[in-house]
Structure 1
Amino acid sequence: MKKINVLLVALLWMFSNGAFAQQTEGNYFEEVASDSLFIGYSKTTTIVFPYTIKTVDRGSQDVLVQKAKGLENVLHIKAAQQGFISTNLTVITSDAKLYSFVVNYDDESPQLNLSLHTTKAESPEMYFTAEGANEEEVEKYSKVAFYNGNKISGAKKKKDQIKFQLTGIFIRDDVLYYRTRVLNDSKINYDIDQLRFFIRDSKKVKRTASQELEIVPIMSYNKPTAIKGESENTAVFALPKFTIPDKKHLVIQLIEKNGGRHLELRLKNKKLLQLTVLPKL
C-alpha cells in the first residue's frame, strides 16, 4: 500500500511539473546584471546618472534614497539602519535604461561619489508616455532639427537691433521641435532672462482676464544664456505635441535680463501646418 501511495505522489508531481512547463513555455527571461553598492549610516553616497531619473525602487526601508535638490539626475543614498541585511535598488532613467544594484552595508568605507557612463549594455527596452519622453531620443532628433535645411518664413520680430525668428517646426512621434534664431546686431550683449512658449487668447474681452497656458519644453538644444554683440544663436526646443485652438495663438516670448529689448512671436495654427516630419533614425 505504501508503494502505491509513493507511486501516486510521484505521478502527481510529474504531471504538475509538466503542466507548469506547458504554461510557461515561450516565456524567456534574461537577467539584468546588478552592480554592487556599498553605503553607510554616517556618510551619504551620491550617484550621478547620465539622464533624468524617472523611477526609484528600493528593496528595503533600511535604505534612504532622495534626488538631489534642483537636479534630476543625481541620487543621494544612505543607510537608515546600521548593519542592515543586503537588499536591492532599481533605478530607471529617461533614456530607457534600467540600473540594478545590490546594496550592502559598509560604514567604514562606503562608496561615496559615483558617476555612471552613458552607455549601458543589454538593458531591457522600455517605453515612456508622452509626458515622459525618452530624453536620449529627443536629444538625437533635436540635433537633426538643428541641422535640417527646411525653413519657414514670416515668423520674425525685430527691435533695437535684436532680431528674433522662428526658422523651423519639426515633428517626430509625439514631440514638436521648434528651431529659433536670435541675431544681435548691436554692440551690447543680449542677456536672456526667459524664453517661453504659451497659448494665449487672440482677443481679450473687456473686463476679463486673458488666459494663458504655458507649454514647458521637454528639453532644449544649444539654448543660450546670452547673445554677444554682433553675433547670433540658433537653438531647438522640444515640446510635447499640441495644436492651437480657434481664437487662440501661440506666443514665443523672449525676455531680456535687466533690459527692455523684449520680443514676441505670435503664431496661429496654420503656421504649424508648415512643419516638417523628421525621418526615423
Structure 2
Amino acid sequence: MKTKTLLIAIALVMTAIQGWAQQATFQTDSKSRLEPLPLGISLQKTTNLIFPFAIRSVDRGSSEVLVQKAKGVENVLQLKAAKDSFQQTNLSVITADGSLYSFMLNFSAQPTSLNLQLADKPMGYEPLAIFAAAKDNQEKILTASEFVSVKNRSLSGPSSSRSGIQLQLLGMFIREGVLYFQLQLANNSKIPYDIDQLRFFIIDQKKSKRTASQELEQSPLHIHGNTTVVHTASKQVIVVALEKFTIPDKKNLVIQLNEKNGGRHLQLKVANRHLERSISF
C-alpha cells in the first residue's frame, strides 16, 4: 500500500514538473517570437526591399519565389513570383549588422507596395545574428562604412570641381570613436578620371611667409567604395573611416584627390564647425 502511494506521489510530481516546464518554455518563446511581415508579390512586377545595411544572407522557403540582390548595390533585394498563385512561403534576410528580417510571402496580382524601405533599428537594439568574433573591430568598421554609404545626404558640405570633375562632402558620421566621411565623386567630362591618391591632412588656415607649413596626415582605417576610377557621366559614393580627431584653432582638414597622369587635382577644406555636425549612429 505504501509503495502504491509513493508511486502515485512521484507520478503527480513528474506531471507537475512537466507542466511547469512546458509553461516556462511557452512563456520564453512568446517573449522572443519574431512575427514575420506579410508581403504580397506579383508575377509581372518587381518588389524592392531596401535594407539599412548590406545583405549578408538570404533564404527563401520556396523556389516559386525569385530573389536576387540588385546589381551594383549591397542593400536592395528584389523579389518576384515565379508562377501565379504560389503557396504561401517565407523569406529570411540577415544584414551586416546582425539583424534578422522575416517575411511571409503571398501571391498578389496587384501588390500594395513595390518599394519597401526597412527602418533602422532603435537605439539599444541587440542583433539576433552573431558573426564570428575574429577581427571584430574591423568588421564593425566595414559594417558601419556600408551603412553610411547608403545614407541620404546630411550636410551642405564643401565641394571642389575642376574640368568636369567634382568632389563633394555629403555627410560625416561618428560611431565608437571612428569618424566616417561620406564623399561623392562625379565625372561630367568625356575622359575617365583615374584616381592616384586620396589624402586627409590637417594644415594651417594661413601659411606664414617665414615658416614652413606642417601637414598632419590622417591615415584611413578603411575606405569603402571604388577608389580606382570615376567613369565618364557617372557618380559614385565612397566612405572613408578615420580615427576620431578634432581640428585645432586656425587649422583646417584638407581632403585632397589627385588624378593619375593628369592635372585635374581637387581639394576641399573642412573646418571644425563642420566636424561638430557629425551624426552619431
Q: What is the TM-score with the length of structure 1 in the denominator?
A: 0.52
Partner of 2:213: 210
User: Quick one: structure 1 residues 226 and 180, their matched pair in 2 at CA, closer, same or farther if it must change by over 3 Å?
Assistant: same
Alignment partners' CA distance in 2, 1:120 and 1:169:
27
Q: How many residues align?
A: 152
Partner of 1:137: 140
Amino acid at match of 1:202: Q
Query: Is 1:197 aligned with 2:200?
Result: yes
User: Quick one: structure 1 residues 159 and 241, their matched pair in 2 at CA, closer, same or farther if it must change by over 3 Å?
Assistant: same
Partner of 1:179: 182
User: Quick one: structure 1 residues 239 and 126, their matched pair in 2 at CA, closer, same or farther if it must change by over 3 Å?
Assistant: closer
Secondary structure of residue in 1 paired with 2:180: strand
Amino acid at match of 1:212: E
Alignment partners' CA distance in 1, 2:270 and 2:131:
42
> Displacement, 1:250?
0.2
Does the 8 Å contact 1:220/1:238 carry over to 2? Answer: yes
Alignment partners' CA distance in 2, 1:209 and 1:203:
11
> Displacement, 1:120?
7.5
> Displacement, 1:231?
1.1
Identity %: 47
Query: Is 1:269 aligned with 2:253?
Result: no
Alignment partners' CA distance in 1, 2:168 and 2:255:
10
Alignment partners' CA distance in 1, 2:135 and 2:259:
40
Partner of 2:245: 242
Secondary structure of residue in 2 paired with 1:196: strand
> Displacement, 1:149?
2.0
Does the 8 Å contact 1:224/1:233 carry over to 2? Answer: no
Listed as ranges, the matches of 1:119-130 within 5 Å are none
Q: What is the RMSD of the two structures over their aligned residues, measured on CA atoms?
A: 1.9
Amino acid at match of 1:220: I
Post-superposition CA distance 1:103-131 (Å, at most 9, x none): xxxxxxxxxxxxxxxx986x6x998xxxx
Which 5+ residue runs of structure 2 have no aligned equivalent? 1-129
Which 5+ residue runs of structure 1 have no aligned equivalent? 1-118, 128-133
- 4+ residue segments displaced more than 4 Å: none
> Displacement, 1:224?
2.1
**Residue 260 of structure 1, aligned match among 263, 268, 277:** 263
Does the 8 Å contact 2:157/2:171 carry over to 1? Answer: no
Secondary structure of residue in 2 paired with 1:235: strand
Does the 8 Å contact 2:172/2:279 carry over to 1? Answer: yes
Q: What is the TM-score with the length of structure 2 in the denominator?
A: 0.52
